A = this chain, B = another copy of it.
Amino acid sequence: MADILHRIGIKAPIQNVYQALTTNAGLAGWWTTDTKGEGDQVGSILEFRFGAGGFDMKVKELVAPTRVVWEVTDGPAEWLPTMISFDLREEGEYIILIFKHMNWQEPVEFMHHCSTKWAIFLMSLKSLLETGEGSPNPVDVKIDNWN
């Protein structure tokens, strides 16, 4: 099993970061504009779509304003079954966000791609909260021939 791990620091109130992870307006502002579901309801299925495909996530755990956990319930075979968590805490003028995309069966090449792409999307989240403008799909930063 293998995990994708990231850490960013965001200069914004922790409530704003938590909302960007638990509301459609927030999620659509940094990950993909095509977002459906109830991110603030445990058990809800979030539907994230990206041109060719997408991911369904069940909201597994919410601890406002410090923790969000999703279980991947549909998407590319390599994402099944994996879990995604966001943990937030205040540290000086920053909200520190610890990101984990856990339990990949194998460190396949697609995992390498997703690791880089998650970093790009987390920087989009940081930008959304600090400047008011993120870069969600379809205006996301492209990293390779897989997009």
Contact = CB atoms under 8 A, between A and B. Distances in A.
A94 B144 contact: yes
A112 B5 contact: yes
A99 interface: yes
A121 to B, nearest CB: 10
B7 A113 contact: yes
A143 interface: yes
Given A120-B123, A123-B120, A9 B145 contact: yes
Band of interface residues on A? 20 to 34
Interface string A54-67: 00000000000000
B7 A116 contact: yes
A145 B91 contact: yes
Given A92-B145, A94-B144, A96-B144, A7 B112 contact: yes
- The A contact surface, by secondary structure, is mixed
Nearest to A97: B144
Contact of A115 (B4, B96, B141): B4
Contacts of A139: none
A6 interface: yes
5 contacts: A2-B2, A4-B5, A6-B116, A7-B146, A98-B112
